[in-house]
Amino acid sequence: MRPRGTAREHRNGPLRSWGIGRARSPQRRAGAVIFLAQLPLRPLLALLTRPRWIGTENFPPQGGGIACGNHTGPLDALAYGHLLQGSGIAPRFLAKESLFRIPVLGALLRATGQVPVHRGTARGQDALASARESLRRGEIMMVFPEGTYTRDPELWPMQGKHGAARLALATGAPLIPVACWGSRRLWPVGRALPRPGRGRIIMRVGEPLIATRTADESENVAAQRLTAELMTAIAALLAETRGSDPPATLHDPRQDPVRPERGGKLTSAELHRLRDDAAAATVRALNADRAGSRAPAGGPARAVGSATDHRPSEGASR
163-171 vs 219-242: helix crossing angle, rounded to 10: 120
CATH for 217:
3.40.1130.10
**Cα torsion for 282, 286, 292, 296, to the nearest 10°?**
140
SS (H, E, C) the chain: CCCCCCHHHHHHHHHHHHCCCCCCCHHHCCCHHHHHHHHHHHHHHHHHHCCEEECHHHCCCCCCEEEEECCCCCCHHHHHHHHHHHCCCCCCEEEEHHHHHCCCHHHHHHHCCCEEECCCCCCHHHHHHHHHHHHHCCCEEEECCCCCCCCCCCCCCECCCCHHHHHHHHHCCCEEEEEEECHHHHCCCCCCCCCCCCCCCEEEECCCECCCCCCCCCHHHHHHHHHHHHHHHHHHHHHHHHCCCCCCCCECHHHCCCCHHHCCCCCHHHHHHHHHHHHHHHHHHHHHHHHHCCCCCCCCCCCCCCCCEECCCCCCCC
**Cα torsion for 237, 4, 174, 45, to the nearest 10°?**
60
In a domain, 219, yes or no: yes
pLDDT reported for residue 308? 52
In a domain, 207, yes or no: yes
In a domain, 139, yes or no: yes
**Cα torsion for 1, 206, 169, 135, to the nearest 10°?**
-20
**Model confidence over 180-199: pLDDT tens digits?**
999 999 999 999 999 999 99
Q: Is-contact 240 301, C-beta < 8 A?
A: yes
In a domain, 314, yes or no: no
pLDDT beneath 50: ranges in the chain: 1-11, 294-307, 315-318
In a domain, 262, yes or no: no
pLDDT reported for residue 10? 39
pLDDT reported for residue 121? 56
Q: Is-contact 88 24, C-beta < 8 A?
A: yes
In a domain, 318, yes or no: no
Q: How many domains does the chain have?
A: 1
In a domain, 194, yes or no: yes
pLDDT reported for residue 293? 54
In a domain, 118, yes or no: yes
pLDDT reported for residue 127? 73
Look up the domain containing 291 and give its range. 24-252+268-309
pLDDT reported for residue 124? 59
pLDDT reported for residue 305? 30
pLDDT reported for residue 47? 97
